[in-house]
Structure 1
Amino acid sequence: MSEAEVIKRSKNAVTHSLLTRDLRKIGLEEGMTVIVHASLSQIGWVCGGPSTLIMALQDVLTQAGTLVMPAHSADVSDPADWENPPVPQTWLRDIYHEMPAFDPRRTPTCGMGRTAEIFRSFPDVRRSNHPIYSFCAWGNGRDALLAHHSLDNGLGKKSPLGKIYEQHGYVLLLGIGYGNNTSMHLGEYLSGKLEIVKRSSPVRVKGRRQWVTYQDGDYHEENFETIGKAFEASRPGAAELRARHVGQAPAILLSQRAIVDFTADYLKKNYR
């Protein structure tokens, strides 16, 4: 969506003070651990753009909290697996030979949106060391949450998602549906219904670039909207699910553990 279209859709300028007010009204508090997924254009015309949204989140959580965003880079992977779009077979040899190794400081995010990409380079933000499933975090729990991100099953129990789960953290969806709720992949993993596949990526091992192979789940988010709506219907008025608007965007703040457990149970019951 172009900036002109966003301005036309906006009833007013969405400012830092408006965002902090709305974030507190939906239930975000100092000291929380929260993973955020945001569509800036759905929030409206934000004065200062993604940086304003990030700073508003930080101001509400304070340094006592932990702000997390996905920083995935699915393009740092085996080009033979690329489908959207694929590349010619004749290119593969050169790609294998030349693709840069994943670098948490330099590798850009892929398909994560402007807010997540800008958050990646914000002061005091760090990134976990997984070539395709990294996460960025800021705040008090940053280092513990990002440490020892398992190469195998990068969205499983030994990932930042698993640590948010253990900490009883939250998910905040800002203008984003359940189809983009990364935490639900942890529910897929815990369901035991995932097909296990092998993937490979270029990384640095003892300072040298090399391709490594690791175990991963064949994740699918096609049913996440259906699962999310079933989750909402099962918990009318529950404290673990709060819905309001942030700016102009419909927003949901929910218990990460609750949606992960519900996803795992739903898949166990409905997908044999």
Structure 2
Amino acid sequence: MSEAEVIKRSKVAVTRASLIKDLNKIGLAKGMTVIVHSSLSKVGWVCGGPVALISALQTVLTPSGTLVMPAHSADVSDPADWENPPVPSAWMHDIYREMPAFDPLRTPTCGMGRVAEAFRSFPDVRRSNHPIYSFAAWGAHRDELTRRHPLDSGLGKDSPLGKIYQLGGYVLLIGVGYGNNTSMHLGEYLSGMLEMVDRSSPVRINGRRQWVTYQDGDYHEEIFDQIGKAFEASNPGRDVLRMRHVGDADALFLSQKAIVDFTANYIRGTNQ
């Protein structure tokens, strides 16, 4: 969506101050650990763009809290797996030979949106070292969440998602739906029903670029909206799920453990 289109459909200018009010109203508070997924264009015309939203989140959480965003880079992967779009097979050799290794400081996010891309380079933000499933974090649990991100099962129980789960963290969806809720992949993993596949990416090992192969889940986020609707229909309670607006965007604030456990149980139930 162009900036002109965003301005046309925005009733008022969204500011850092108004965002702080909206975040407080939805339940975000000092000291919380939260993973945020967002669409800035849905928020409306934001004075200061992604910087204003990130600053508002940090202000509400304070340094005693922890702000996490996905910093995924699915394009740092085997081109044979690319489908949207695929590349000609004649290009494969050059891609394997020339693709830069994943670098947490330099590799841009892919398909994560303007807010997540801006956040990864903010002061005092650290990014985990997974070639396709990295996460960026700021605040009290930053180092705990981003260190030792295993290559295998990069969205599993030992990933940053699993650590947020152990900390009793939250998910905040701003202008996006359950299909963007990465934490539900942890539910797939914990269901015990997830099929595993091989993936490969270029990484640096002892200073040398190498292609490595690792185990990953065959994830199915296309079912997440269905699971999310079932979760809401289960009447989880206001302490587990809150719905309001952040700027002009529909927003969901929910317990990560609640949606992860519900996802795992839902998938087990449909596979019995």
Query: Partner residue of 2:156?
Result: 156
Query: Partner residue of 2:62?
Result: 62
Distance 2:237 2:264 in 1: 22
Alignment of 1:41-80 (within 5 A): 41-80=41-80
CA displacement at 1:107 relative to structure 2: 0.3
CA displacement at 1:157 relative to structure 2: 0.4
Query: Partner residue of 1:20?
Result: 20
Query: Partner residue of 1:252?
Result: 252
CA displacement at 1:193 relative to structure 2: 1.3
Distance 2:42 2:77 in 1: 31
CA-to-aligned-CA distance 1:85-143 (integer Å, 9 cap, x gap)? 11111110110000000000000000000000000111111100000000000001100
RMSD value, Cα: 0.7
- One-letter identity of the residue aligned with 1:227: I
Residue 123 (1) aligns with residue 95 (2): no
Higher mean C-alpha displacement, 74-83 vs 228-237 = 228-237
Query: Partner residue of 2:165?
Result: 165
Residue 227 (1) aligns with residue 227 (2): yes
Query: Partner residue of 1:36?
Result: 36
- One-letter identity of the residue aligned with 1:242: R
Length-normalised TM-score, structure 1: 0.99
Distance 2:102 2:171 in 1: 27
CA displacement at 1:237 relative to structure 2: 3.6
- One-letter identity of the residue aligned with 1:238: R
Distance 2:226 2:52 in 1: 32
Distance 1:237 1:144 in 2: 30
Residue 94 (1) aligns with residue 83 (2): no
Higher mean C-alpha displacement, 160-169 vs 228-237 = 228-237
SS in 1 for 2:108: coil
CA displacement at 1:238 relative to structure 2: 3.2
Query: Partner residue of 2:144?
Result: 144
Query: Partner residue of 1:218?
Result: 218
CA displacement at 1:271 relative to structure 2: 2.7
CA displacement at 1:236 relative to structure 2: 5.2
Query: Partner residue of 2:182?
Result: 182
Aligned length: 272
Residue 201 (1) aligns with residue 201 (2): yes
- % same residue: 76
SS in 1 for 2:52: helix
Distance 1:126 1:203 in 2: 18
Distance 1:53 1:67 in 2: 12
- One-letter identity of the residue aligned with 1:5: E
Query: Partner residue of 1:263?
Result: 263
SS in 1 for 2:12: coil
CA displacement at 1:62 relative to structure 2: 0.3
Distance 1:220 1:174 in 2: 21
Distance 1:219 1:236 in 2: 25
CA-to-aligned-CA distance 1:3-42 (integer Å, 9 cap, x gap)? 0000011000000100000000000000000000011111
Length-normalised TM-score, structure 2: 0.99
Distance 2:196 2:69 in 1: 25
SS in 2 for 1:30: coil
Distance 2:213 2:230 in 1: 36
CA displacement at 1:192 relative to structure 2: 1.2
